[in-house]
C-alpha cells in the first residue's frame, strides 16, 4: 500500500512540475514525438509497401517459376548464338508431357505487344498484348474469370478461333454495360468468338494489365507465325514448400530436352515469381535502416533536451528539495521523484509519436489499398525506448537532486 502511495504521489508531483514548466516540457515532448513518429510511421509505411508488393505478385501468379530464353549481354555474338536459343513449341510441349513433379504446367507464346482489336466500328489502340496460352495457364498466371469460361482441351487441340478478353478491352469495345460473350472481335485478319472476360488486375510493374487478350496457343502458331518463335514455360508446384525441389527437377529435365552435356552451362533461364518481390523487399531494408537512424538521432537530441530540462528543474527546485529532505524525505524518494518526471515526459512523447506514426504510416496502406497495419513490435519497442530515454536523461539530474544537503538547499537563492 505504501509503495502505491509513493507512486501516486510521485506521479502527481511529476505532472505538477510538467505543468509549471509547460513550454520546455512541450518542446521536449514534441522532439520525442517526432523521433517515435519517424520510427513507427516510416516502418508502418514500409510494412504496408511490403504487403502491397507481395499482394501484387500474388495477383501476378504466386509460387510459380518460369523457364525462358537466356539473354546475357556480356556474351560474345558467337556465345549468344550458341547459348541463347529460343524455346520451341515442341520443347515446351515435351517438357509439359514429361515433367512428373506434382505441379501445374503451362506454356505461352507472345503473338504481339501492339495488337489491334476491332468490334464493328470500334477499335483499340495498337498497344494490346495478344498472348497464346494453353488450357492450364489461367490458374498459373493468377487470372480469374469474371464472366464466361476458359479454354477447353478441344479449343487447344482444334485451334479454335476463340478469345478471352481483359476487362479494359471489354470497356473499350463494348462499353461499361456491354456483354461481349459470344460476340466476334477481329484480331489481325482473323475473327474470334469471345468466350470469357478476365477480372481486372490493374497494371503492375510495367505489365500489360487489363489491356490483354488470350487466344489458344495452337491458333497463334497458325495465324501469327514467326521464325524461331520463343515460348515461355510456366510451372506452379502443388506444394510451394517444395519450390527448390521443383526448380531443380525442372532444370534437370529441360537440360535433357535441350541435349546439354554435363559440362555445358544451361542455355536457358529459370526465374521464380517471387525473385523480384524479394529483391524489392530486400532493397527496402535500407530505407528501414535510414528511418531507424533518423529516429534514434532525433531521440538522442530529445534525450539531451530532456536532461537539460531536468537539470534546470533541479536548480529551480533546490529549496523545495531542501524542504522535503528537512521533513524526512530520503535520497531514494527524491531520486524517484525526478526519475518519475523524466519517464512521464518520455512516455507522453512516445504515446503521441506512436499514434501519429500509425496514422501517418497507414496513409500508405490507404494509397496502396492494403490492410490497416498496427506494428505491435514497434509500438512495444517505442514505449520501451521512451522509457529508457526517460531513465537515461533523468538519472543524472535526479541523482544530483538526491545528493543535495538539506541545509545548503534551504539557503539556496
Residue 68 predicted with pLDDT over 60:
yes
- Buried residues in 236-273 as b, exposed as e (16+ CB within 10 A): bbeeeeebeebbebbbebbbebeeeeeeeeebbebebb
Average pLDDT of the chain is 80
- Give residue 77's pLDDT: 46
Compute the distance between CA of residue 408 and CA of residue 404 in angstroms, rounded to an integer.
Answer: 7
Mean pLDDT value across residues 289-318: 74
Residue 4 predicted with pLDDT over 60:
yes
Compute the distance between CA of residue 373 and CA of residue 51 in angstroms, rounded to an integer.
Answer: 10
Compute the distance between CA of residue 343 and CA of residue 356 in angstroms, rounded to an integer.
Answer: 20
- Give residue 232's pLDDT: 93
Sorting pLDDT into bands at 50, 70 and 90, what band is 54?
low
Under a CB-based contact definition with an 8 Å cutoff, are residues 148 and 196 in contact?
yes
| Residue 102 or residue 72, greater confidence | 102
Residue 408 predicted with pLDDT over 60:
no
Cell of 103: 505441379
Nearest 10 degrees: Cα torsion 76, 78, 84, 89: 160
Contacts of 391 (CB under 8 A, 6+ apart): 339, 342, 343
Mean pLDDT value across residues 164-185: 90
Amino acid at each position: 500500500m505504501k509503495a502505491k502511495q509513493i507512486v501516486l504521489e510521485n506521479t502527481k508531483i511529476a505532472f505538477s512540475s510538467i505543468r509549471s514548466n509547460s513550454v520546455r516540457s512541450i518542446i521536449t515532448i514534441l522532439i520525442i514525438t517526432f523521433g517515435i513518429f519517424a520510427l513507427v510511421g516510416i516502418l508502418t509505411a514500409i510494412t504496408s509497401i511490403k504487403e502491397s508488393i507481395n499482394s501484387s505478385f500474388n495477383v501476378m501468379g504466386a509460387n510459380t517459376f518460369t523457364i525462358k530464353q537466356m539473354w546475357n549481354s556480356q556474351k560474345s555474338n558467337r556465345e549468344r548464338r550458341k547459348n541463347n536459343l529460343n524455346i520451341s513449341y515442341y520443347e515446351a510441349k515435351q517438357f509439359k508431357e514429361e515433367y512428373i513433379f506434382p505441379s501445374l504446367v503451362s506454356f505461352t507464346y507472345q503473338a504481339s505487344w501492339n495488337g489491334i482489336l476491332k468490334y464493328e466500328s470500334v477499335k483499340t489502340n495498337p498497344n494490346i498484348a495478344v498472348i497464346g496460352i494453353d488450357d492450364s495457364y489461367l490458374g498459373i498466371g493468377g487470372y480469374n474469370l469474371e464472366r464466361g469460361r476458359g479454354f477447353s482441351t478441344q479449343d487447344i487441340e482444334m485451334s479454335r478461333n476463340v478469345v478471352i478478353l481483359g476487362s479494359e478491352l471489354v470497356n473499350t469495345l463494348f462499353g461499361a454495360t456491354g456483354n461481349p460473350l459470344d460476340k466476334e472481335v477481329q484480331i489481325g485478319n482473323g475473327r474470334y468468338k469471345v468466350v470469357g472476360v478476365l477480372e481486372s488486375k490493374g497494371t503492375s510493374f510495367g505489365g500489360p494489365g487489363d489491356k490483354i487478350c488470350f487466344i489458344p496457343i495452337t491458333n497463334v502458331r497458325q495465324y501469327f507465325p514467326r521464325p524461331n518463335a520463343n515460348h515461355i514455360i510456366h510451372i506452379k508446384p502443388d506444394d510451394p514448400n517444395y519450390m527448390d525441389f521443383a526448380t531443380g527437377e525442372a532444370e534437370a529435365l529441360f537440360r535433357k530436352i535441350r541435349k546439354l552435356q554435363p559440362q555445358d552451362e544451361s542455355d536457358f533461364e529459370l526465374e521464380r515469381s517471387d525473385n523480384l518481390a524479394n529483391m524489392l523487399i530486400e532493397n527496402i531494408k535500407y530505407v528501414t535502416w535510414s528511418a531507424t537512424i533518423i529516429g534514434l538521432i532525433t531521440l538522442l537530441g530529445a534525450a539531451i533536451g530532456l536532461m537539460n530540462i531536468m537539470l534546470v528543474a533541479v536548480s529551480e527546485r533546490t529549496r523545495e528539495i531542501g524542504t522535503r529532505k528537512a521533513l524526512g524525505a530520503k535520497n531514494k524518494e527524491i531520486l524517484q521523484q525526478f526519475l518519475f518526471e523524466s519517464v512521464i515526459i518520455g512516455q507522453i512523447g512516445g504515446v503521441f509519436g506512436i499514434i501519429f506514426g500509425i496514422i501517418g504510416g497507414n496513409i500508405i496502406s490507404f494509397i496502396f489499398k492494403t490492410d490497416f497495419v498496427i506494428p505491435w513490435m514497434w509500438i512495444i519497442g517505442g514505449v520501451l525506448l521512451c522509457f529508457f530515454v526517460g531513465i537515461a536523461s533523468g538519472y543524472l539530474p535526479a541523482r544530483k537532486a538526491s545528493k543535495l544537503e538539506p541545509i545548503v538547499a534551504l539557503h539556496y537563492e
